[in-house]
């Protein structure tokens, strides 16, 4: 799109936002032009929490499907729009609810006492089968809440689970899922970049595999990354191993630094193809048509309970329904 067309689309979006009474939420992995127009940007945890504070009748969620579902679960009375209903997530898809249900049954039949800790990148049906929901921002705190006499079944991200197991010292049964973007960073290219920028700090998302995390100076979710780079007063080089659009957010929050994306093995851009389904035009169209909308599903009731207990209650509480009940 030419700059003039982009300006026209942006003007239409702003007018529609006003007439609908909408709030636009955008994940850090959205294109910069979408983040720029959003009322609130954030990682999954921040957006889930912010979604509960929105007073407008309509939420437009620029992110992927499970995130919009989460916003709907936390705001049952609001209209939640997603620019492209097909914006899915490979990580979420790697853990279908029926498969998880069968696996949990098998563990129970074998007398295993466990709690299921689920990364937020999962469907509502999987959340409904869980004891806890975590994001990369609160996972460590939640894992420490699980009673010591319970095993932990961690789904769906094996890499985040392995990392959490290391930092908390809790053994985990890991689901064999992963994110197609974070799994493909090239270790050879990272080593070359480290030689090219010997003073650079490497920052990596915990969804990356161990072979990348072992070279990181800092491991954390996107909010934590912003905090980390903001703590460096002098201009610094950072090698960044997470979704490429995060660079836009880092550059706008701490522009004094230089950011170098770690290339992927198969694709140098490292952009999430699911997030990329949302475009400015689709954002405009969904507001114009008040569709596609994320509507309430039967499994949302149980999933909402787990979400609220995990994400909105910072104090340790007892689990209402221990697994196996």
Binding site for ligand SF4 (CB under 6 A): 29, 64, 89-91, 121, 179-181, 243, 272, 274-275
- Cβ 61 vs Cβ 93: under 8 Å: no
Given the complex with ligand SF4, which of 21 and 273 has the nearer CB atom?
A: 273
Q: How far is the CB of 170 from ligand SF4 (least distance, A)?
A: 23
Give 17 or 270: the residue with its C-beta nearer to ligand SF4.
270
Q: With beta carbons less than 8 A apart as the criterion, state whether 51 and 75 touch.
A: yes
Q: Buried b vs exposed e over 132-171: b needs ≥16 C-beta within 10 Å?
A: bbbbbbbbeebbebbeeebbbbbbbbbbbbbbbbeebebe
Q: At what angle do helices 44-51 and 300-311 cross, to 10 degrees?
A: 110
Q: Which is nearer to ligand SF4, 139 or 179 (CB)?
A: 179
The least CB distance from residue 119 to ligand SF4, in Å, is: 9
Strands 58-62 and 40-42: unpaired
Judged by CB, which is closer to ligand SF4: 221, or 292? 221
| Residue number, 25 or 181, with CB nearest to ligand SF4 | 181
The distance of closest approach from Cβ of residue 129 to ligand SF4 in the complex, given in angstroms and rounded to an integer, is 19
Whole-angstrom distance, CA of residue 173 vs CA of residue 74: 29
Please name which of 75, 73, 205, 48 lies closest in space to residue 127, comparing C-alpha atoms. 73
Question: Considering beta carbons, is residue 91 or 126 the nearer one to ligand SF4?
Answer: 91
Minimum CB–partner distance for residue 27 and ligand SF4 (Å): 8
Least distance CB 5 / ligand SF4 (angstroms): 27
Decide whether 30 or 193 has the Cβ nearer to ligand SF4: 30
Residue 244 CB, nearest distance to ligand SF4 (Å)?
A: 10
CB distance 124 to 132 below 8 Å: no
Residue 9 or 67: the one with the smaller Cβ distance to ligand SF4 is: 67
The packing angle between helices 44-51 and 65-74, to 10°, is 30
Q: Minimal distance in Å, beta carbon 103 to ligand SF4? A: 21
Rounded to an integer, what distance in angstroms lies between the CA atom of residue 100 and that of residue 105? 9
- Taking the complex as a whole, the smallest distance from the CB of residue 235 to ligand SF4 amounts, in Å, to 28
- Show the beta-strand stretches assigned E in the chain: 22-27, 40-42, 58-62, 79-81, 114-119, 132-134, 151-155, 172-174, 201-204, 218-219, 237-241, 258-261
DSSP 78-120: SEEE-S-TT---HHHHTS-HHHHHHHHHHHHHTT--EEEEEES
């Amino acid at each position: 799109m030419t700059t003039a067309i982009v300006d026209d689309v942006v003007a239409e979006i702003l007018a529609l936002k006003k007439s609908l009474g909408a709030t636009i939420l955008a994940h850090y992995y959205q294109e910069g032009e979408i983040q720029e127009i959003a009322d609130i940007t954030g990682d999954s945890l921040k957006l889930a929490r912010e979604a509960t504070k929105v007073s407008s009748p309509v939420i437009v969620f620029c992110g992927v499907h499970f995130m919009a579902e989460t916003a709907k679960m936390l705001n049952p009375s609001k209209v939640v729009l997603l620019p492209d209903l097909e914006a899915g997530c490979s990580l979420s898809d790697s853990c279908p609810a029926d498969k998880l249900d069968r696996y949990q049954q098998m563990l129970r039949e074998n007398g295993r006492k466990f709690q299921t800790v689920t990364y937020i990148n999962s469907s509502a049906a999987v959340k409904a089968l869980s004891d806890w929901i975590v994001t990369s921002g609160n996972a460590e705190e939640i894992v420490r809440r699980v009673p010591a006499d319970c095993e932990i079944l961690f789904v769906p991200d094996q890499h985040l689970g392995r990392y959490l197991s290391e930092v908390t010292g809790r053994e985990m049964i890991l689901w064999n899922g992963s994110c197609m973007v974070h799994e493909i960073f090239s270790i050879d290219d990272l080593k070359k970049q480290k030689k090219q920028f010997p003073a650079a700090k490497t920052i990596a998302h915990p969804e990356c595999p161990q072979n990348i995390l072992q070279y990181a100076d800092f491991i954390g979710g996107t909010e934590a990354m912003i905090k980390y780079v903001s703590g460096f007063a002098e201009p610094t080089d950072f090698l960044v191993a997470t979704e490429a659009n995060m660079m836009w957010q880092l550059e706008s929050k701490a522009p004094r630094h230089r950011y170098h994306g770690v290339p992927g093995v198969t694709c140098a851009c490292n952009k999430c193809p699911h997030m990329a389904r949302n475009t400015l035009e689709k954002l405009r169209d969904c507001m114009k048509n008040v569709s596609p909308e994320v509507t309430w599903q039967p499994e949302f009731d149980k999933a909402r309970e787990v979400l609220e207990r995990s994400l909105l209650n910072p104090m340790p509480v007892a689990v209402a329904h221990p697994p196996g009940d």
